[in-house]
Amino acid sequence: MKYEKSIWDSFFDQKLKINAHCIITAAGESSRMGCWKGSLTVPAGSEGQGETTLIQKAVSTALESCQRVVVVGGRQMEHIRMLIPQDKNLQIIENPDYKEGMLSSIKRALPFVEGDFFILPMDMPLITPVHLYHLHRSFFLNKSHQIVRPVYRGQPGHPVLLPSVWNFRIRSMPGRSLKQNLTDDDQLLIPWKDESVVLDLDTQAAYREFLDHYRFC
């Protein structure tokens, strides 16, 4: 266990990047919100660090933690390109089939992903690099082909970490979501202590409640 702990300390304390890529899904129509969610402002971090947008926060978290980040957009490609600064480790791609669901965006990103990879929706403002490091540690210790996923009070959440073998498995999956194609045996669920892994902003009411209750994220 001492050896395992030293790996965790090395990555987290020295801010070394995880040997994994990250897909950020940002192609949804945000129909329940009434406006595109990616441009909504949220606290950037601890108190006093100002504000950022949902899409910028997700990208910043992924770039800080992962070797490469692929952002998948849909109808809002112009907004995405305006909000996200260029980075050598970042690629923005368009999913013309975004109305077919999140699985179509994941499939669109897979040719640009190498090795193990995370999937992170852009509308989860409480996700930080700590989440990605913790999931990768569980993934490293598990040494299997299972998908590693956080769970809070019985509800599976995000981000999820997938072994590289899933890159090709997913390409032939039917339907609108990855979840509908998975069995219990496909997943290793990691208990999480708070709602950060399940809290997403789908409606104006959820957005207002988030701003009212969280001074920082």
Give the DSSP letter string of the chain: -HHHHHHHHHHHHHTPPEEEEEEEEE----TTTTS-GGG-EEE-SSTTS-EEEHHHHHHHHHHHHEEEEEEEESTTHHHHHHHSPP-TTEEEEE-TTGGG-HHHHHHHHGGG--SSEEEEETT-TT--HHHHHHHHHHHHHH-SSPEEEEEETTEE-S-EEE-TTHHHHHHT--SS-SGGG--GGGEEEEE-SSGGGT----SHHHHHHHHHH-S--
**CB distance 70 to 93 below 8 Å:** yes
What's the whole-model pTM score?
0.90
> Is the model's pLDDT at 6 over the cut of 90?
no
Q: Give per-residue pLDDT as tens, 113-152.
A: 999 999 999 999 999 999 999 999 999 888 889 999 999 9
Position 99 scores a pLDDT of: 93
The CATH class of the 17-212 domain is alpha beta
Q: Give per-residue pLDDT as tens, 17-60.
A: 999 999 999 998 777 787 889 999 998 875 556 899 999 999 99
Position 147 scores a pLDDT of: 97
